[in-house]
Amino acid sequence: MKTINYEIDGLDCANCAKSLESYLNKCQKEGIDSVNLNFLTKTLKVNYQNKELSIDELLKIIKKGTDDPVNLTYKKDNMDYHVKVFDKEVITLIIRILISALMLIIGFAVFNLLSKETFDVFWWCMLSFYIISYLIISYDYLFKFIKSFTHPKTMINEITLMTIASIGAFAIQEFPEAVLVMVLAQVGEVFEHISVNKSRNIIVNTIDMRPKVVSKINNGKIEVVGVETLNINDEIVLKVGEVLPVDGVVVSGNALIDTSSVTGEFEPVLVTKNNNVMSGTTIVDGTINISVKKEFKDSTTAQILKMVIDSGEHKSRAENFISKFAKIYTPIVFALALIIGVFVPLIVSLVNGNWSWDNTWYHYIYIGLTFLVISCPCAIVISVPLAYFIGVALASKRGIMIKGSNYLDRLNDVKELVTDKTGTLTTGKFSIQEKKFDIDEKTFDEYVSVLESHSTHPIAKAIVSGLNYKDNYETLDNYHDLSGYGVSGIYKGHELLFGNYKLLAKHSINFAKIEDYRNILYLVVDKTCVGYIIVDDTIKENSKALINYLNIHKIKTLMLTGGNNKSADAISKKLGINNYYSNLLPEDKINHLKEELKQSSSHYAVAYVGDGINDAPSIILSDVGIAMGGLGSDASVTNADVVLMNDDPLKIAEAISIAKATRMQAIFNIVFALVVKITIMVLSLLSLVPMWVAVIADTGLSLFLILCSILLLKKKIKVK
């Protein structure tokens, strides 16, 4: 199977896009396996069975499924995701609306001021103005309506509904209303087009704050160049207020940087020589020279932006629901309009024996036409995917990368979080917790430091760093690294041992064993125990807050760790974790996770969070896989559904909260739209709503729900 991504332009409405997507997914005979069409981001992803089709070949297939003037190009790796809010199409449509509205006003004035009776010269003059006005505003609708008869499977759409309604209004001599319906429909198109493009640009601007140019050092001179021209190992200079356009490493200088656009953390971070820095970060104070390590198109911000834009490829349940709903809802309402406008007056006339036009046929035909106007599902079809699109963007703004709308939606169903310990709930970095000695402290620190400085073990490095002994060491002789026990050597004529209780037992050293779940390392000088150091991994600052949040929301927690039982028991009690298993190998973790997944269902999801390569299989296996760490090549990050950019456990709670807020917005959009539409339908049945009000209600509904979805970006997420 081969996958190709395209940019698709020219689709009139979200419902038209849904219809085209549905049509293309049935084109297996043409070599297409499946497609995903995102109206918001104007992207078309095509999975071919074998051979890739050329753009011309694909366009021929597309034109069989839509009457819109579609344009197709290959999606570029380094594309600008911004779109023009007022493009040529919108400007042309605005001009048409203004001209048509002017002609409508003139026609209405002629009829009301000059025409005395039907079919006099002024009446014909008025009709001419109405017809010209109608043709100016609706020639594209009429052309697509006529062409739609060649596509009977996809012909019941917004174009068809509005065209039939306006032609019907003309037929019953409601000329101003016939024109006004089309004018308002096109006004709705303009506002919808502007709103969708504006929302996309807002999202892109929220995530992508990279500059277009940067100061580059070239042969000792500084020159301003476009960021897309930067190559790996180029050196650039950044000063206060400037934003880093690419990922790199600091080669000189030091600065405070704001990483909030990437990690969601608003506390400035100090970076100095050899520190890695990510694109999108802002220089708060200082000046640094940076060596480029990733090109502009491969930078962290570019990957985040691509992930957000492509998130619509994985649709949420709400989006899948409205796709099926629109297929059923629109034909049903169309059928109801037909029944009301044709069959009801026919039955009434037959029963009453009265075929009066004014009292029966006109009344019901008008109601049926109003039904057609209000029945368009575009408000729902646009606003629900937009809500999830913005939910993913909101998460990325807070340093949480969610790789699809479906994963964001699935977070709502998480009823159990299975978690790794080291590097996930703890920092994964050892530090000295306690130190006790019976000799001079400086001598104690010197003996321990000289021994551990020869070891590469993470605990040894943590001890050397923690003791920070600054004097020079003398030569250490007869050094031995005793795996699983500790280290030994001869220093200044003294026989030194430093390690766990097993090392002391092995050498028959008398000592008072300390019962503690942490790592206790004893120092022995000339067969006498003179002190000890307790070292342990540190619990992350927000681990407790995460578990509290999960417990409050009745989400079970299970910790799986390769660490010892005492450590696991102590940490689980300290954090409030429901259950744990210790001394596990990677395959043991998978087996325990499989047991938990047996409870999984459409409304019960099991999430797994980990940070290392050994967690990758569990991350893949879970319903929602969550990885700690930035966008790197680590297997756990690559295979995760959710990535926490700054390793903060509390971001899991934020992700769940954002998922809940997004689903609530999607549900609100669906319910509110249906309530408004059903209300208008009922009022039209009671002859309380004219056709033009139904058009305004439909357009206003779309704009209102789009605005509500956009406001998700401003939502405050509180989890503590």
Annotate 264-283 with DSSP letters as a single string.
Answer: S--S-EEE-TT-EE-TT-EE
3-state secondary structure 406-421: HHHHHHHHEEEEEECC
* Fold of the domain spanning 427-538: Calcium-transporting ATPase, cytoplasmic domain N (3.40.1110)
The helix/strand/coil state of 369 is: helix
Q: What is the mean pLDDT of residues 103-122?
A: 76
The pLDDT of residue 604 is 92
The pLDDT of residue 133 is 92
- Given pLDDT bands bounded at 50, 70 and 90, which one contains residue 605? very high
Does residue 482 have a pLDDT over 50? yes
DSSP state of 646: T
* Fold of the domain spanning 405-423+540-640: Rossmann fold (3.40.50)
Does residue 28 have a pLDDT over 90? no
State how far the Cα of 207 lies from the Cα of 623, in Å rounded to an integer. Answer: 27
**Nearest one of 237, 194, 230, 185 to 212, comparing CA atoms:** 230
Question: Which residues have C-beta within 8 Å of that of residue 694, sequence separation ≥ 6?
Answer: 370, 373, 374, 680, 684
Give the pLDDT confidence of 399-451 residue by residue, as tens digits: 888 888 889 999 999 999 999 888 889 887 788 989 999 999 999 999 999 99
Q: What is the mean pLDDT of residues 702-708?
A: 87
Q: pTM of this prediction?
A: 0.76
Q: What is the mean pLDDT of residues 6-33?
A: 83
Give the H/E segment covering residue 92.
Answer: helix 88-113
Tokens 């009429």 label which residue? 142
The pLDDT of residue 698 is 80
Tokens 């090392």 label which residue? 503
Architecture of the structural domain at 2-74: 2-Layer Sandwich (3.30)
Give the pLDDT confidence of 125-170 residue by residue, as tens digits: 888 888 999 999 998 888 888 877 776 666 666 777 788 888 888 8
Please give the residue that has the higher pLDDT: either 400 or 79: 400
CA dihedral 57, 59, 62, 64 (to 10 degrees): -80
The pLDDT of residue 581 is 92
* Fold of the domain spanning 213-298: 2.70.150
State how far the Cα of 645 lies from the Cα of 305, in Å rounded to an integer. Answer: 14
Token digits for 582?
């210790």
Helix 565-575 with 543-552: angle, nearest 10 deg: 60
Instruction: For residue 418, give Cα distances in angstroms to 434, 623, 642, 647.
Output: 31, 11, 14, 16
- Given pLDDT bands bounded at 50, 70 and 90, which one contains residue 633? very low
The pLDDT of residue 666 is 92
For residue 80, indicate whether it is catalytic.
no
For the chain, give the percent of residues with pLDDT over 70: 93
List, as one string, the DSSP characters of 517-530. Answer: SSEEEEEEETTEEE
Please give the residue that has the higher pLDDT: either 73 or 188: 73
Q: Are 719 and 650 in contact, with CB atoms under 8 Å apart?
A: yes
Question: Which residues have C-beta within 8 Å of that of residue 68, sequence separation ≥ 6?
Answer: 10, 11, 12, 16, 20, 144
Does residue 673 have a pLDDT over 60? yes
**Nearest one of 480, 515, 520 to 499, comparing CA atoms:** 520
CA 546 to chain centre: 22
Q: What is the mean pLDDT of residues 188-215?
A: 76
The pLDDT of residue 359 is 66
Give the H/E segment covering residue 73.
Answer: strand 71-74
Helix 650-685 with 378-397: angle, nearest 10 deg: 160
The torsion region of residue 697 among left (phi > 0), alpha (psi -120 to 50) and beta comes to: alpha
Please give the residue that has the higher pLDDT: either 313 or 439: 439
Give the pLDDT confidence of 452-467 residue by residue, as tens digits: 998 877 788 889 989 9
**Nearest one of 24, 1, 30, 28 to 11, comparing CA atoms:** 24
The helix/strand/coil state of 574 is: helix
Mean pLDDT of the chain: 84
Residue type, 546: L
- Given pLDDT bands bounded at 50, 70 and 90, which one contains residue 77? low
Token digits for 584?
């596990």
Phi and psi, residue 250, nearest 5°: -70, 125
Please tell me which residue in 413, 420, 641, 647 is annotated as part of the active site. 420
- Given pLDDT bands bounded at 50, 70 and 90, which one contains residue 630? low
Give the H/E segment covering residue 307.
Answer: helix 300-309
List, as one string, the DSSP characters of 454-494. Answer: T---HHHHHHHHHH---SPP--EEEEEEETTTEEEEEETTE
Instruction: For residue 241, give Cα distances in angstroms to 189, 222, 271, 273, 653.
Output: 40, 18, 15, 20, 32
Q: What is the mean pLDDT of residues 223-230?
A: 88
Token digits for 612?
């290392």
For the chain, give the percent of residues with pLDDT over 90: 25
The pLDDT of residue 417 is 96
> Which residues are 8's β-sheet partners?
72
Cα-Cα-Cα-Cα dihedral sign, residues 138, 142, 143, 144? positive
The pLDDT of residue 636 is 61
State how far the Cα of 525 lies from the Cα of 522, in Å rounded to an integer. Answer: 10
Q: Are 311 and 392 in contact, with CB atoms under 8 Å apart?
A: yes
For the chain, the domains span: 2-74, 88-202+311-386+664-714, 213-298, 405-423+540-640, 427-538
Give the pLDDT confidence of 516-571 residue by residue, as tens digits: 778 889 999 999 999 999 988 888 889 999 999 999 999 999 999 877 788 888 89
Question: Which residues have C-beta within 8 Å of that of residue 660, sequence separation ≥ 6?
Answer: 412
Give the pLDDT confidence of 362-404 residue by residue, as tens digits: 888 888 888 877 777 777 878 888 888 888 888 888 888 888 8
Tokens 């023009």 label which residue? 84
The pLDDT of residue 123 is 79
Q: Which of 188-192, 279-283, 633-637 has the lowest mean pLDDT?
A: 633-637
Q: Are 110 and 125 in contact, with CB atoms under 8 Å apart?
A: yes
Q: Are 709 and 669 in contact, with CB atoms under 8 Å apart?
A: yes
- 155 HSE (CA, 13 A, CB side): 14
The helix/strand/coil state of 105 is: helix
The pLDDT of residue 632 is 44
